[in-house]
Amino acid sequence: MKKAFVTGATGQDGSYLIELLLEKGYEVHGLIRRSSTFNTSRIDHVYQDPHEKKLHFYLHYGDLSDTGNIRKLIFDIQPDEVYHLGAQSHVRVSFDIPEYTADITGLGALRILEAIKDFEKSHDKKIRFYQASSSEMFGSTPPPQNEKTSFHPRSPYGCAKVFAYHTTVNYREAYNMFAVNGVLFNHESERRGETFVTRKITRGIARILAGLDKKLYLGNLNARRDWGYAKEYMEAAWMMLQQDKPDDYVIGTGETHSVKEFVQAAFKHAGISDWKKYVEIDPRYYRPTEVDSLIADPSKARKKLKWKPKTTFDSLVRLMVEEDLRVYSPNIKEA
Ligand code: NAP
Ligand code: GDD
């Protein structure tokens, strides 16, 4: 039985990856932060389904700032694969807490790579490492963006991810480690954090229809993103660690839409044509520097991993709207 260690186990991607690894028969170890409130809502169902055969799923308290703890976990668990998804992942927030973001999102990767390097020196075992790199690293470099595109990050988050990206490549080259970067473009789902724009929109619409909110306050509607479905992106992450040789891959759909287009499509799925009545611009959601346009060129992943996206933009918007309407449906008033 293969063993995997997943950081960011309680996040959107962590939850899909853990489901996938358990389905494939892995023993899965997740890193979880101590919190004063429950923070396992995305993975609770993995414990709860009584129809599942016994799953080998374990959670360990820790924090990416804590070198000793990370090191201990790598040495104790002795995983075959490490999926490093944990991060301060919010771009706007990274302008408010840049040092913390550099520590967790940047140095966090270094701490894990160092622990793996030292483990491999003293044990007769190799550990494969996946770094959750980001299209945010391309920043202001014009699209389409692929593995050869240069980086020009536009946020403390983007800068931290560039550091982690290059550190991953450096450890691969310097210590012959199986360390890869998955450069993933924006991926969303019904489990997306509520403050990222797609989920903020679909949840906001459901709350308006339920009579809980009157308006949806947003920032820059002109930014363009390449949005895909998170579950499929975690399949790509797993595939990267199953290759014969370590390499870096761009994952995205190759299609771009503006935030405004997402808003229009989401309101339409909820049966509202006049979205402008409900949306207000609040400059507090603007960023000091913005990433204007992202479009993936995922041809390398299509060719080498045989990975391609299945969920279209419209289906993604619909599934997110439907799920938020279902969550808030007890409160939805008769039209
Ligand atoms: P997410 O939902 O924000 O999850 C982030 C995870 O990191 C959570 O489990 C969080 O724990 C954990 N975390 C945060 N700070 C930590 C710390 N100090 N110590 C330990 N764990 C910590 O993010 P996601 O969307 O799943 O993304 C997963 C990874 O992919 C991130 O590295 C992100 O930067 C990267 N990425 C995401 C996208 C995307 O579009 N989703 C695209 C490219 C790259 P709590 O639950 O306790 O907060
Ligand atoms: N969050 C947010 N809230 N974004 C808004 C809002 C708002 O009210 N209004 C407009 N936007 C715009 C942002 O300015 C940005 O251009 C776009 O919507 C997308 O914002 P987010 O959903 O916060 O995502 P992101 O692109 O900044 O970052 C996400 O994708 C990256 C990959 O490119 C995150 O998941 C990162 O962790 C990830 O690396």
Domain ranges of the chain: 3-189+228-251, 197-224+256-334
Query: Token digits for 18?
Result: 């853990």
Tokens of 92: 């706007």
C-beta of 285 in contact with ligand 2 (< 6 A): yes
Q: Which residues contact 258 (CB under 8 A, 6 or more apart)?
A: 221, 222, 223, 224
- Other Cβ atoms within 10 Å of 282 Cβ, number: 11
Looking at the CA of 109, name the nearest ligand: 1
223 lines ligand 2 (CB under 6 A): yes
Secondary structure letter of residue 318 according to DSSP? H
Q: What separation in Å is there between the alpha carbon of 333 and the centre of ligand 1?
A: 35
Q: Does the active-site annotation cover 134?
A: yes
Measured from the Cβ of residue 236, the count of other Cβ atoms closer than 10 Å reads 22
For 295, counting Cβ atoms within 10 Å of its Cβ (0-12 exposed, 13-18 middle, 19+ buried), the class is buried
Q: Supply the residue whose CA is at minimum distance from atom 14 of ligand 2.
A: 220
Please report the atom of ligand 1 found closest to the CA of residue 9: 9
Per-residue confidence of the chain (335 residues) as pLDDT tens digits? 999 999 999 999 999 999 999 999 999 999 999 999 999 999 999 865 555 557 799 999 999 999 999 999 999 999 999 999 999 999 999 999 999 999 999 999 999 999 999 999 999 999 999 999 999 999 999 999 999 999 999 999 999 999 999 999 999 999 999 999 999 999 999 999 999 999 999 999 999 999 999 999 999 999 999 999 999 999 999 999 999 999 999 999 999 999 999 999 999 999 999 999 999 999 999 999 999 999 999 999 999 999 999 999 999 999 999 999 999 987 665 44
pLDDT value of residue 331: 67
DSSP element (H, E) containing 269: helix 259-269
Residues whose CB falls within 8 Å of the CB of residue 214, separated by 6 or more in sequence, listed in order: 208, 278
Angle at 37 between CA 31 and CA 39, to 5 degrees: 35
The ligand that comes nearest to the alpha carbon of residue 182 is 1
For residue 10 and ligand 1, the question of a CB distance below 6 A is answered with: yes
Ligand 1 centroid from CA 28, angstroms:
17
* Domain 3-189+228-251 = CATH 3.30.365.10: no
Catalytic residue, candidates 130, 157, 233, 249: 157
Give residue for tokens 């690293």: 137
Residue with CA nearest ligand 2 atom 5: 197
User: Mutation test of ligand 1: which of 6, 60, 61, 89 has the most ligand atoms closer than 8 Å to its C-beta?
Assistant: 89
Q: Is 218 in the pocket of ligand 2 (CB under 6 A)?
A: yes
Kindly give the distance from the C-alpha atom of residue 102 to the centroid of ligand 2, in angstroms, as a whole number.
18
Nearest partner of 188 among 89, 109, 94, 83, judged by Cα: 89
On whether the CB atoms of residues 128 and 80 are closer than 8 A, the answer is yes
- Give the orientation angle of helix 12-23 with respect to helix 230-240, to 10 degrees: 60
| Residues across the chain | 335
What pLDDT was estimated at residue 48?
A: 55
Active-site annotation holds for 157 = yes
Q: In this predicted structure, what is the pLDDT of residue 335?
A: 43
- The model's pTM is 0.97
Taking phi first (over 0 means left), then psi (-120 to 50 degrees means alpha), and beta for anything else, what does residue 149 get? beta
Bridge partners of 30, per DSSP, are 6, 59
The torsion angles phi and psi of 19, rounded to 5 degrees, stand at: -60, -45
d(CA 137, CA 188): 18
The residue type found at 87 is A
Give the pLDDT confidence score for residue 55 in this predicted structure.
74
In the reported structure, the alpha carbon of residue 24 is separated from the centroid of ligand 2 by a whole-number distance in angstroms of 32
Q: Return the number of other C-beta atoms located less than 10 Å from residue 6's C-beta.
A: 30
Q: What confidence tens digit (pLDDT) does each residue in 265-291 have?
A: 999 999 999 999 999 999 999 999 999
Task: List 225's β-bridge partners, or say none.
Answer: 257
Asked if 263 contacts 222 with a C-beta cutoff of 8 angstroms, the reply is no
Closest residue to atom 40 of ligand 1, CA basis: 186
9-42-226-140 Cα dihedral, nearest 10 degrees: -50
| The CATH homologous superfamily of the domain defined by 197-224+256-334 | UDP-galactose 4-epimerase, domain 1 (3.90.25.10)
Which is catalytic among the residues 136, 188, 190, 232? 136
Residue 328 to residue 209: CA distance in whole angstroms:
8
